[in-house]
Structure 1
Amino acid sequence: MHNTQQERAPSECSPLADTVERSLSLPGTFALWLGANVVVTTVLTGMFLVPDLTFYHAMWLVFIGSAIGIIPLVLIGVMGQKTGLTTMVLARGTYGRIGAMMPAWINLLALIAWSWIQALLAGMSLDYAISALTGYSNVALFTVLCEVIVVSIALKGHLGIERLEKIAAVLMMLLCGAVLYALNRHYDLPSVVEIETTGILGAGVIFDIVVATAFSWIPLAADYNRHCKSIKASVIGTWGGYVTATLIAMGLGATVSALSISIGFPQTYDPTALLNNVGFGLPAAFVIFFSVLTTNVMCVYSATLSYMSIKPSSGFLMPALVIGIISIIGGTIPGILDQFQNFLLIIGSVFIPAFSIMIVDYYLIDKKAYEPKKLVDQLEHLPKVNWVAIGIYIIGACLAYYLNWVSPSAIGASLPVFILTGGLYFLIQKIRVRSGSYSKQWSES
């Protein structure tokens, strides 16, 4: 069953629980999700919160939205911790051995798109730092260099990523603290709480953006939390690390946004723009660069695992290299950052219903269908496609599209779609279980 590449990296390529390294303690899990989420795209999201809302109102919504939005990720992470399976291998238990390829391909493409954005941002930040030190500027070159570093780290597997995120968590806390200190020293930082609101987006939309940001991380949950030593480490470490990181990152973006407006500067999320003239632009640039680097490593790694769930014989090395090259090319697409907010909403549309169904199916319908050996070694006992799950997923995705673009909801689309999709699936499958049709279909080859 295992090829040479799998023997060299068993914890990446062998998804059975008894072969997975349990390397993440509670502090390690906390650091993993903290380091992963103190990232420039989350800082950028924070810019959209102020001045639409007051600073305090925005931060309250960030806390509530991230605390609620992270729950599905925690639940998928627990599934990974209990089974030792990656997220997209777990999807076989919900969608069938062929049907699971649908969310796997969607996840693969979405993570590549994330990597495009991250690669460009990292290249821009490194370009600024090098330019400040030497006067040499070449964004394309530094984008390529950043992605080479990303792929090199991703090839070391989960242990390399875990070590990186622990270092990142400490450095990001120190660097963010230093940036806020510099902002307070050179500007009137308390003025951010006094800025007048515009109310363009509204609290409901902003809450939905915060929730959708948390939901966008769900596909990565089991990929990493399968290495947690305990359920306690998986639950508390993930929840605490993510919520803390989101408060820091979105808080920094909201602070810089409000401060830039209050001093008559063009609105921005980037502290480098405000600190460049006072000699602190270089540390601020490294905050952006390092945060992007750590998150992009996770994107490339999980994109590779998604491909491996589709093509198990591919091994780890070649898909990771190809995905890294595609990320480098995509990072040079003109205007890609202008589509970031729409991209976030699209991610919510395609992922929210998919994982709502998975969570309901595992926790409320048929946990036995997710036994590791069934999903890895005994695929012939699974149906090719669970058409009920596919059909309800399509309904949920259409509902998300309708509530996001056709008739935007005042409370956003994320939570309503999650609840309605999961509720519909639960209702239909309970009826099928009682009639006996569900269990019979699931045992047929």
Structure 2
Amino acid sequence: MSQKVSKEYVDVDYTLTHVPKSARKSWIPIFAVLLGFTFIVTTMAAGANLGTSLPLRDLITVLLIGNIILSTYVGVLCWISAKTGLNTILLARYTLGKFGSKWTSIILGGTQVFWYAFQAAYMGKVFTAALGWETYFVPVTMFWSLFMGAFAIWGTRGMEIVAYLSIPPFLFLAYKIPQISIETVGGVRELFAIEPTTTITFAAAITIIIGAFISGGTQAPNWARFAKTPKTAFSVGFLAFLIGNIVMAISGMLGGLVMQEQDMVNVLLQMGIIVWAMFILIFNIWTTNTTAAYSFGVAGAEFFNKPNKVPFVIGGLIIATIMAVTGIYEVFISFLTFLGIFVPSLGGLIIGDYLFNWRKSMPRIEEMNFRVIRSSNLIAYIFATLGAYLSSVFEIGLPPLNGILLGIGLVYVMKKIYNLLGIDDQHKTPSKTEDVKISG
């Protein structure tokens, strides 16, 4: 009975296997989901924070460099996912082994549980403050947390509905904030003349732009794998993240620059668009939390090797809701620092492993006899992460970018070292397997 209900009400998400050609979708629904995913209030908040720290000319430079790096990273991961039909967690199984990939499930799934909890708490704070219901923070937060998570149980179709609904208010926001900002100071020339009240280095500013959504970008393959061709997946992933993040960040930057206010909610309130601000935040957090719940459901299903993600969505919702009402809001900055160090090198590792080991021929997952751990890539990940951390400590380059490049390069280096030492840590496959073949 439960199996029939699952098939009737929940999409087939191919959680533990390749997405077949028959299930591939056009670019429009995938673009809508990924674009909606990038419409996130924390990116706006990061933009507002930078808006008080740099003049507009420098803000534009930081915005373009940071988002081109991030969007290219996302696009490459999306290309690989559509080529193979696999989500991020399953790609990590090829990269790190059957047990090694569990770390990916923990870090990405755990990241999304934390992200969900933070945004549920944010929703509760905004809602109760606006309505004067501060004493009802806990029940209001619990309601929104459970309500938003229900859409993830519907699968990708449920997410498409939310994504479509979330786009119109953000198109309004993209127009309204720059308009009000320009009118407030008297013109575009006056925007460029505003002097910041705080300071930040270029490297730190670019790191904030990249780090604000590197975790979400690493999990974009969860939806891009449904694209009909790899080229489509790359284009959709690249453009969705480039457009979405620039719109969100520039809105926050201009608001923060003109109002010299780092809190994005206060910026919207000072601009006199409180009703639209509330409406926008509801749809914004609803969209991103739906995708977050979907992501930690997929991660949990892979971790326990179960085809049904729903129990893990429910379990994650319970944990996230408890975190949301018990003070998770206070450790947000520390969380972003953690993401900027540990996640980029993981994505770089997956890219490097595909380029140097599977690009010509990737056996289907059901034909694979996975090693427990691929030690060469695990060592590469450890050193790439260490390199990203040290570059942050000693202010060398951009830590997220360093993590990505080190992850890619060290896969090749460790492969050569293992070959010289005569160590074989490749997965075993039958002599005759059907490779994954997706055109484009």
Q: Distance in 2 between matches of 1:387 and 1:12?
A: 28
Q: How does 1:17-416 map to 2 (within 5 A)?
A: 17-18=19-20, 21-23=23-25, 25-131=26-132, 138-181=136-179, 190=188, 191-198=190-197, 200-261=199-260, 267-270=262-265, 271-275=267-271, 278=272, 280-313=273-306, 315-334=308-327, 336-367=328-359, 370-371=362-363, 373=364, 375=365, 377-379=366-368, 381-404=369-392, 406-409=393-396, 411-416=397-402
Q: Tell me how far 1:72 sits from its aligned partner.
A: 2.0
Distance verdict in 2 for CA 1:90–1:233, change over 3 Å? same
Q: Distance in 1 between matches of 2:124 and 2:157?
A: 25
Identity of aligned residues (%): 19
Cα shift readout 1:89-144 (whole Å, capped 9, x = no counterpart):
1111110111111111111111111111111112223334545xxx7873322221
Give the secondary-structure state (helix, strand or coil) at the position aligned to 1:48.
helix
Q: Is the 8 A contact 1:51 1:195 kept in 2?
A: no
Q: Which of 400, 408, 432 pairs up with 1:422?
A: 408
Amino acid at match of 2:70: G
Amino acid at match of 1:74: G
Distance verdict in 2 for CA 1:30–1:407, change over 3 Å? same
Q: Distance in 1 between matches of 2:73 and 2:5?
A: 33
Q: Distance in 1 between matches of 2:42 and 2:262?
A: 16
Q: Is the 8 A contact 1:254 1:269 kept in 2?
A: no
Specify every segment of 5 or more residues in structure 2 that has no aligned partner in the other structure, as ranges. 431-440
Q: Is the 8 A contact 2:70 2:210 kept in 1?
A: yes
* 2:13 paired residue number: 11
Q: Distance in 2 between matches of 1:355 and 1:206?
A: 21
Q: Distance in 2 between matches of 1:220 and 1:420?
A: 19
Q: Is the 8 A contact 2:53 2:198 kept in 1?
A: yes
TM-score, structure 1 normalization: 0.87
Q: Distance in 2 between matches of 1:395 and 1:327?
A: 31
Q: Tell me how far 1:223 sits from its aligned partner.
A: 0.6
Give the secondary-structure state (helix, strand or coil) at the position aligned to 1:146.
helix
Q: Distance in 1 between matches of 2:22 and 2:295?
A: 16
Q: Tell me how far 1:305 sits from its aligned partner.
A: 0.2
Q: Is the 8 A contact 1:74 1:239 kept in 2?
A: yes
Amino acid at match of 1:358: I
Q: Distance in 1 between matches of 2:300 and 2:21?
A: 20
RMSD value over aligned CA atoms? 2.7
Q: Distance in 2 between matches of 1:221 and 1:194?
A: 38
Q: Tell me how far 1:432 sits from its aligned partner.
A: 3.6
Cα shift readout 1:42-71 (whole Å, capped 9, x = no counterpart):
011102212321123212211221111222
Distance verdict in 2 for CA 1:103–1:370, change over 3 Å? farther
Amino acid at match of 2:401: L
Q: Tell me how far 1:419 sits from its aligned partner.
A: 1.5
Q: Is the 8 A contact 1:46 1:253 kept in 2?
A: yes
Q: Is the 8 A contact 2:49 2:263 kept in 1?
A: no
Bigger mean CA offset, 191-200 vs 101-110: 191-200
Q: Distance in 2 between matches of 1:366 and 1:259?
A: 50
Cα shift readout 1:225-256 (whole Å, capped 9, x = no counterpart):
11112223211121111111111111111122
Equivalent pairs, count = 425
Distance verdict in 2 for CA 1:309–1:67, change over 3 Å? same
Specify every segment of 5 or more residues in structure 1 that has no aligned partner in the other structure, as ranges. none
Bigger mean CA offset, 297-306 vs 115-124: 115-124
Q: Distance in 2 between matches of 1:398 and 1:149?
A: 39
Distance verdict in 2 for CA 1:130–1:207, change over 3 Å? same
* 2:433 paired residue number: none
